[in-house]
Amino acid sequence: YFSQRKFASQKERSQVLEQLEDQEIDPNGLESEGTLIAEFYLSRPEAEARDLPLHQLLGV
């Protein structure tokens, strides 16, 4: 998970928490802490992944 940004207002925070609850997504430790959270998925062709491994792509 990646921190995207802080909520712009208490109203936005309440709306997001309500939407997550409606989708049965547990916000504890994530959005409940006051930050919008993003999930990141990387999809690449197999040859590209082989030629440039993830640790090199991310520089770690």
Average per-residue pLDDT for the chain: 93
Count: domains in the chain: 1
Q: How confident is the model at residue 48 (pLDDT cuts 50, 70, 90)?
A: very high
* Greatest CA separation for the chain: 46
CA 5 centroid distance within chain: 10
* pTM confidence score: 0.66
Domain assignment of residue 37, given as a range? 2-58
Looking at per-residue pLDDT, the higher value among 47 and 40 belongs to 47
